[in-house]
Chain A
Amino acid sequence: MNGTIFDKLKILAESAKYDVSCSSSGVGRRNNGTIGSSDAAGICHTWSADGRCISLLKVLFTNNCVFNCEYCVNRRCADVPRASFEPEELAQLTIEFYRRNYIEGLFLSSAVEISPDFTAERILECLRLLRRKYGFAGYIHAKIIPGVSPELVHAIGLEADRLSVNIEMPTSKSLELFVPQKKPKEIFRPMRQITNSLIERNALKGPGSMFRGQDVNSPENYLTPGSGMLSADSRQLRENQNCSEGSEEGVKAIVRRHPRKEVFAPAGQTTQMIIGAGGETDHQILTTTENLYHTFKMKRVYYSAYVPVVSSPILPDAGTPPPLAREHRLYQADWLLRFYGFSVSELVDDAHPDLDPEVDPKVTWALRHMDQFPVEVNKAPMDMLLRIPGVGNVSARRIMRQRKVASVKYDDLRKMGVVLKRAKHFLTCSGKYYGGNRFLPEVIKEQLLEADDGVQLSMFDTADSRKAVTGNDRLSL
């Protein structure tokens, strides 16, 4: 327990590495303390050997845990070395790393030592030291442990930039199975509290451009107890949201607080769930994601491909490769939800419960809706441009910009950043179509796969995931 700082950092970084989020984005702040600032776009400082960016010093405060979550390396009955930081020790380490520009800030998570409140108080002490004693104005992401009292959540929110509560599992069934000590109610209560605190400050922003043009800080979005049940059915969720448990007066008047005087988690809240431990379909996972975005207006939902670290009769065997390709497709779908105006029902349904491993979700959608294509780039509205595979937010905006001063020609599209390899099958430029001569979904899919072969998988270079994505015997060709 009383090891050197080297031992502690080793044990507590080792345990924290399965937390996904490392983003330092979402809040732009000049240096209002002694040291530090925050860049709205976030800054990555290095990339570890697994290709994930390191932006924050990601550690657990302690890995002494009273919980016994099935999938977790630090569960109570696991035989692993244990350590805890002292608040002062961790604050100083953060500052010294920060001075050398190793990191953008601190990501502090923790196991549950003694009780949730005990642990949260220690975390709070560390964050207060950083902010007040050292005048740290950099980024802090704090994880809220389920079961922490509302007062402590509030106090931590006043110090941190971003808060997250892990939902852990995509359905309540697998939550019950794998995480017996965390109750859905205990997970949703702090989530709701964070969203409400942000609404009180008129500071809720919502995920991506999902709620563009809508007032997410209006009283209708204020969450009352009983809303946000973990369910695979969005209709059921809305019903839950409407019937406020016990209190029949409905939405209370919001007590507005001045956001300047008391900044609460300005970068919003996120959550993460484990993919591939239980038997969920992509449909269930994405529906839960959409519910989280609609109900709590979270900034992000992260997915973590399950790495078998513990052996358990109900979990995948050790040695099973983590489902990286599936994780990638889920993130692509997640982006379509947040930035491209798609809804989950368009991407997956009961007939297609999983995302297509061969092509990305946007292409899959386009191939199922050939009646809406090809799209004329010189006439289509922004939301339709965004639905063309190979056209992103930046290139769509550039098309709109250029259209004000000149017509867009086919050669211009490449210069604007459109991926013509995909896009040419789905658009026309001043009436001319540049794809092949057969406008059929099967034919186009075949052409896309041929064009992608060998290039597509630069992100997952291992033989296993290569097979997982292409799936068929294309490899042997």
Chain B
Amino acid sequence: MTDYLYDGTFEGLLTCIHFHYYNGKASGIYVRNEYQPSMLQPYLEVETDTNKADIVYEAITKKISSYDLRRIYRVFKSDDAEKEKKILDYVRLGFRLGGKISMMHGNPAVFEIQRIDKKVGNEVHRLKGLIRFSELDGGVLYSSIEPDHDIVEFLAHHFCDRYKNEPFIIHDIKRSKALVAYGGDWYVTHFTKEKVSGISADEQKYRDLWKQYFEDIAIKERINPRCQKNLMPARYWKHLTEMQ
């Protein structure tokens, strides 16, 4: 039983799964830079191999389902501490049971994946609403976020369609990366705050209008801060215009 270390990419994880089947069982899979070696636990640094990754990728699609492959990818993008091991358990079970695995809601391995997948999906949905764009000089829309999970790419489809004629940037400050999009095309790139120019002339006016609207729309007789916080966790407030 060996701990496998990979480079943090999805292909790297798939290579580790391949190693698990052909080079001896994995006791755990960890990202190389975050791994703390111990005296008793042997470990192996797995070099990412795209051929091996492709084999596993294809096998998951064919022997389990493409739905489960997408699900595994979403879980891979979560911030769960043991996501790699959980994905390995799910894939192993999936190779035995096939496409019906996602119906086994009571199985602990399936339950964990279902739970994390839901958390990622929920955050994506939440951010579709909670992202606030500011108009920069030159008309680019800029938004900064600090999501729990690494999800900027899951937002691309929604916002590219919605703002197909607007250039926009969704900046994940926590991970120093950004989704850059214009005219329906998008890519994810390394990004830092210094690249952002000043706000446009009208921007402050609309921010103020929005803040004022936000204040006015609440019914004083029904004020309920706890309900508000339940629905909109305070960790998102930092980047909301109306909460500044």
Contacts and interface: CB of A to CB of B under 8 A. Distances in A.
Contact of B103 (A44, A50, A322, A402): A402
Contacts of B163: 35, 99
B230 interface: yes
6 contacts: A9-B216, A16-B217, A35-B163, A49-B218, A307-B219, A415-B105
B201 interface: no
Interface in B140-178: 141, 143, 158, 161-166
B190 to A, nearest CB: 24
A404 B106 contact: no
Contacts of B224: 49-51, 459-462
Q: Which A-B residue pairs are the 6 nearest by beta carbons?
A: A51-B227, A412-B106, A50-B222, A48-B218, A49-B218, A51-B224
A45 B130 contact: yes
A13 B216 contact: yes
A415 B108 CA distance: 9
Contacts of B143: 101
Contact of B130 (A46, A104, A409): A46
Contacts of B218: 17, 48-50, 52
Contact of A13 (B100, B217, B241): B217
Contacts of B161: 30-31, 37
B111 interface: yes
A218 to B, nearest CB: 35
B39 interface: no
Interface stretch (B6-14, B26-34, B68-76, B206-214): B206-214
Contacts of A96: 202, 206
B81 interface: no
A39 B131 CA distance: 16
Given A43-B129, A51-B227, A412-B106, A405 B100 contact: yes
A150 interface: no
A14 interface: yes
Interface in B12-29: none
A408 B106 contact: yes
Contacts of B164: 31, 35
B43 interface: no
Contacts of B132: 100-102
B89 interface: no
B165 to A, nearest CB: 6
A4 to B, nearest CB: 10
Interface stretch (A53-61, A74-82, A329-337): A53-61
A54 B217 contact: yes
Contacts of B206: 96-97, 100
A322 B223 CA distance: 11
| Chain A interface bracket (under 10, 10 to 19, 20 to 34, 35 or more) | 35 or more
Contact of A49 (B209, B213, B225, B240): B225
Given A35-B165, A402-B104, A415-B105, A48 B228 contact: yes
Q: Is the interface of B mostly helix, strand, loop or mixed?
A: helix
Interface size class of B (residues with CB under 8 A): 35 or more
A57 B210 CA distance: 10
A51 B241 CA distance: 17
Interface of A: 5-6, 9-10, 13-14, 16-18, 30-31, 34-37, 39, 41, 43-55, 57-58, 93, 96-97, 99-102, 104, 138, 305, 307, 321-322, 324, 398, 401-402, 404-406, 408-409, 411-412, 415-416, 458-462
A404 B99 CA distance: 13
Given A93-B209, A415-B106, A307 B222 contact: yes
B106 A48 contact: no
B193 interface: no
Contacts of B210: 97, 100, 102
Contacts of B228: 47-51
A272 B143 CA distance: 36
Given A17-B216, A100-B133, 5 more contacts: A31-B162, A37-B162, A48-B218, A51-B227, A322-B222
A35 B96 CA distance: 47
A187 B213 CA distance: 30
Contact of B231 (A17, A47, A138, A307): A47
Nearest to A400: B103
B117 interface: no
A448 to B, nearest CB: 22
B84 interface: no
B226 interface: yes
A99 B141 CA distance: 8
